[in-house]
Amino acid sequence: MAHVVVITGASSGIGRALALSWARRGARVVLSARSQEALERVAEEVRAAGGDGLVVAGDVTVEEDRKALCDRALAAYGRLDVLVNNAGRGYYAPTLEIDPAELEAIYRLNVVAPVRLAQLAIEPLSAAKGTVVMVSSIAGLVSAPRMGPYASSKFALEALSMSLRAEVSARGVRVLVVRPGPVATPFHANAVVTDENVGYRPPGHKPQSPEEVAEGVVRAVASGREVLETSAFVKVASLAARVTPGPMRWLSKRMARHSGL
């Protein structure tokens, strides 16, 4: 039977690419984001690619919209195999200049919504022995000057995912954490940025395509993986964060000084 996959943030970037990757495998894809119009366009692409697409527009930070997403997916298809918590936004600012209201907003979207959706979907996911996909980031393991607001939201998502994975394993539900590095999507254009001087990329480093990330995620779900680091850059940074934390702290201070902090 074709899988039923709920994807948040499906109107753009990685979420749209995920919808199309699953559609090519004949999945029934439930598409969530705030923009109905953009979702309708993705739903057409999903059908053209061989899948079935149901649009449920809504804001994942709003409880009624979260409930409506799960209810409508179940009413339409009667099961749920994969919940992909992908909707997210960036917020980059020096820590001393963080706007508390903006920080709360980013946590509601990047942290609270994925947890709440996992709670709402756990019964059908248990029945299907399904998977919760949490789209984290390399920023879920490493922070840097001006990355505190965004990175802290992904660190929190990593910790919650680690607990959730253990807690739902007896139900046969898996939790896959995905850590992309830079991906060519409108993510940075959509981020709240108070200071452009953010982050680090090795010279000549090219962002990954959302299609490449999406194919990796779909394969990782099929093979039952629990963590996916999507590029060589992410794997090196992830290893360095764990094995050489001292030099990473030194590099971070150097980045801060060189960028005027």
Active site residues: 150
Q: At closest approach, how far in Å is the CB of 8 from ligand NAP?
A: 6
**234 near ligand NAP (CB under 6 A):** no
Q: Note whether 91 binds ligand NAP by CB under 6 A.
A: no
With CB under 6 A as the contact rule, which of the stretches 20-28, 53-61, 118-126, 237-245 interacts with ligand NAP? 53-61
Strand 131-135 vs strand 174-179: parallel, antiparallel, or unpaired? parallel
Q: Which of 5, 6, 15, 168 binds ligand NAP (CB under 6 A)?
A: 15
Question: Contact with ligand NAP (CB under 6 A): which of 19, 49, 81, 88?
Answer: 88
**Distance separating alpha carbons of residues 14 and 31, to the nearest angstrom:** 12
Element (H, E) at 245: helix 245-258
If one asks whether residue 11 binds ligand NAP (CB under 6 A), the answer comes out as: yes
Catalogue the long-range contacts made by 93-97 (C-beta closer than 8 Å, 24 or more residues apart).
93/146, 93/148, 93/149, 93/192, 93/193, 93/194, 93/195, 94/145, 94/146, 94/148, 94/194, 94/195, 94/261, 95/148, 97/194, 97/195
Q: Which of 4, 5, 12, 164 binds ligand NAP (CB under 6 A)?
A: 12
Q: Judged by CB, which is closer to ligand NAP: 28, or 136?
A: 136
Using the rule CB under 6 A, is 34 a contact of ligand NAP? yes
Residues that bind ligand NAP (CB under 6 A): 8-15, 33-35, 38, 59-61, 86-89, 109, 135, 137, 180, 182-183, 185-187, 190
